[in-house]
Amino acid sequence: MNVKFVFFGAIALLSMVYCQNPSNPDEETTNASAATTASDTLIKPGEERFFKSLRQLSFGGDNAEAYWSFDDSKLVMQVTNPAWNVPCDQIYYMEVAGDKSPGYKPQLVSTGKGRTTCSYFLPGDTTIVYASTHLAGDDCPPPPAHREDGKYVWPIYASFDIFKADLKGNIIGQLTNTPGYDAEATVSPQGDKIVFTSLRNGDLDLYTMNLDGSDVRQITDELGYDGGAFFSPDGRQLIFRASRPKSAEDVKEYKDLLAEGLVKPTDMELFICNADGSGLRQITSLGKANWCPFFLPSGKKVIFASNHATERGFPFNLYTINIDGTDLTKVTADGTFDAFPVFSNDGKYLVFSSNRNNGGTRDTNLFLAEWNESE
């Protein structure tokens, strides 16, 4: 689950759960060729000036949390698609170049059992990390029951642990094995650390570890849900989303829901800190849900999804903001849902998930934008 999350459909249905290295000039043709088939008709005229071109990479189902390989030639993502007999999220990867017309199916790299989330390439681009519930059973864990109080909630499945796998789907290591939720792992662009969210101390906090699961260190310790963290391009900082209940009523609600294995994701702001947890500061105070932040290649801005400008909580659009909280700028103008923005390591492309161009269905697809650096 994301809980790096996904908001599906024409209403805000959030599903579960969210690098930068110098590129090799000889390999840049991969992404260049990927952009040549882009369809500019997918761009909102006059409103999405940050996009030079826009290319659709998936067609059908719910496709989200796509993350780049270190050489920018591949994407790994989570997919739910009943047409493929995939009733809840599993991990797939694709080569960015090549035909991605309707009917294209990427390569399954998770077990096909349980529910998975938050995959990420490890250095070398031959292995990935992802979280999965498969040790607790082959079936998808049940979603939360409809609540009489009307609260929208996400499940925090205690059976999630983080695994390492090769691109043929073989699990070659288990990186976490503590009781409770361990998920949302991402890898430093420097290739030396993993950051993840864990419930091991009774609250949803950020931790870092080495690539082999050793040297686990707690990064955040304030009450509330800390998740969806990413390293800055130089590996020195972390950007993440967090809830921070303050009133006695909000604290009680947060703790009561957490005791049920649930969180309410409708009030999130962005926070930034050093990679060791020092220097923590809040950079947005927009209200509603602000989440899935990712550093721009300069390390001086982040891009994220937000519904703060809406009255009913929908749609979600992409925005950029300086890491000091200034210069909030709108990037997309879609009337439905845009989220999970992630820059390629060379900074030339942005992949994100969107409900645009889905024929009026609830499908969430992947889109590849050529970034307009002049903006």
**19-63 pLDDT, tens digit each:** 333 333 333 333 433 433 445 689 999 899 999 999 999 999 999
Count of CA atoms in the C-beta half-sphere (13 A) of 187: 28
pLDDT for the residue 263: 96
Among the listed residues 265, 263, 292, the one whose alpha carbon sits nearest the alpha carbon of residue 157: 263
Domains identified in the chain and CATH numbers: 6-371 (2.120.10.30)
pLDDT for the residue 40: 67
Confidence grade of residue 210 (pLDDT, cut at 50, 70, 90): very high
Residue 263's CB: how many other CB atoms inside 10 A?
21
One-letter amino acid at 332 equals T
Instruction: State both tokens at 236.
Output: 């020195």
Confidence grade of residue 4 (pLDDT, cut at 50, 70, 90): very low
Q: Any bridge partners for residue 206, and if so which?
A: 197
The SS3 call for residue 259 is helix
**How far, in Å, CA of 343 to CA of 297, rounded?**
7
- Using alpha carbons, list the distances in angstroms from residue 173 to 33, 92, 158, 211, 264: 35, 18, 19, 11, 32
pLDDT for the residue 311: 84
The SS3 call for residue 30 is helix
Q: What is the mean pLDDT of residues 76-87?
A: 97
Structure confidence by residue, pLDDT tens digits, 239-268: 999 999 999 999 999 999 999 999 999 999
The phi and psi torsions of 255 (rounded to 5 degrees) equal: -70, -40
* Structure-model confidence comparison of residues 254 and 14, the more confident one: 254
Report the run of H or E that residue 218 belongs to, with start and end: strand 217-218
**How far, in Å, CA of 161 to CA of 190, rounded?**
23
**Strand 161-166 versus strand 171-174 pairing type:** antiparallel
Among the listed residues 266, 216, 209, 277, the one whose alpha carbon sits nearest the alpha carbon of residue 243: 266
**How far, in Å, CA of 200 to CA of 202, rounded?**
6
The answer to whether residue 342 scores a pLDDT higher than 90 is yes
Structure confidence by residue, pLDDT tens digits, 113-139: 999 999 999 999 999 999 999 999 999
Confidence grade of residue 314 (pLDDT, cut at 50, 70, 90): confident
Q: For residue 219, is it left (φ>0), alpha (ψ between -120 and 50) or beta?
A: alpha
Average pLDDT of the chain to the nearest whole number: 90
Instruction: State both tokens at 330.
Output: 């709108």
Which of 16-20, 82-86, 280-284, 327-331 is least confident?
16-20
pLDDT for the residue 26: 37
pLDDT for the residue 375: 52
Q: What is the mean pLDDT of residues 149-172?
A: 95
pLDDT for the residue 18: 40
The answer to whether residue 108 scores a pLDDT higher than 90 is yes
Question: 351: which residues sit within 8 A by CB, 6+ positions away?
Answer: 57, 66, 68, 75, 340, 341, 342, 344, 366, 367, 368, 369
Count of CA atoms in the C-beta half-sphere (13 A) of 278: 2
- Using alpha carbons, list the distances in angstroms from residue 116 to 8, 70, 77, 92, 113: 17, 22, 10, 10, 8
Residue 35's CB: how many other CB atoms inside 10 A?
18
pTM above 0.85, yes or no: yes
